[in-house]
Amino acid sequence: MKPDISNRIKIVELQKNEALPKLSDSYLTANYYDLSIVHEQEAWKIEFRLKPFEKPLEKSYTGTLFEEHVMEPRAFAAVLDGQQVGWIELGYEKWNNRMRVWEFLVKKEFRRKGVGTFLMSYAKKLAKEKGARMLVLETQSCIGPAIDFYLEQGFELIGFDAAAYSNEDVERKEIRMEFGMKL
């Protein structure tokens, strides 16, 4: 593990009307959580089992802050030595009193140095201050390092959607997994 630099990070709130960064990332993934659903007469058996891909896959992602669908959006940057090195966007879901993490990204060269933990701790603090009952987020079943990070942060699997992105999510091994943390 590389040295923790979180003691040098400042959090800056971003505004919708300012020049905002385009969030993009590419990564290699070697594993995925394979979904198995068995329906018996009086039970459903649902299992996610970690399996390796035949060969690592390269995935990419591009996102933007302050999308129209985000309720009460607030976006923040982690700034280190004057440079933005990570971002998190939160939205308060008033109807069910949950704070949702809509965007979360740390630049590759700053991962495993405490930036992500610092941002997520800030999100937990803001969610508690808002009086939210939970902090929730989504990720895909093929992003093992992100899932591991969320579990380390205290999140638990609270649901999934096997057809959120396409009708072939299960075959593509890219199932939407919903994680949450009671506050």
- CATH code for the domain of 56: 3.40.630.30
DSSP 39-65: EETTEEEEEEEEEEEEEEEEEEEEE-S
Collapsing DSSP to helix, strand or coil, 111 comes out as coil
Q: Looking at residue 6, what is its pLDDT? A: 72
Count of structural domains, the chain: 1
Q: Looking at residue 2, what is its pLDDT? A: 61
Q: Looking at residue 181, what is its pLDDT? A: 98
Collapsing DSSP to helix, strand or coil, 141 comes out as coil
Please enumerate in sequence order all residues whose Cβ is within 8 A of that of 91, keeping only pairs 6 or more positions apart, or say none.
70, 71, 72, 73, 74, 99, 100, 102
Structural domain includes residue 89: yes
Q: What is d(CA 172, CA 44) in angstroms, rounded to the nearest whole number?
A: 23
Structural domain includes residue 163: no
Q: Looking at residue 7, what is its pLDDT? A: 83
Residue 140 and residue 176 in contact, taking contact as beta carbons nearer than 8 Å: yes
The residue among 57, 79, 37 whose CA lies nearest residue 172 is 57
Please enumerate in sequence order all residues whose Cβ is within 8 A of that of 18, keeping only pairs 6 or more positions apart, or say none.
none
Structural domain includes residue 157: no
Structural domain includes residue 51: yes
What are the structure tokens assigned to 15, written together?
Answer: 């505004």
Each of the 183 residues of the chain gets a pLDDT tens digit; together they read 567 787 899 999 999 988 899 899 998 999 999 999 999 999 999 999 999 999 999 999 899 999 999 999 999 999 999 999 999 999 999 999 999 999 999 999 999 999 999 999 999 999 999 999 999 999 999 999 999 999 999 999 999 999 999 999 999 999 999 999 999
Structural domain includes residue 164: no
Structural domain includes residue 58: yes
Residue 12 is part of which domain span? 6-133
Structural domain includes residue 114: yes
Structural domain includes residue 37: yes
Backbone angles phi, psi at 132, to 5 degrees: -65, 145
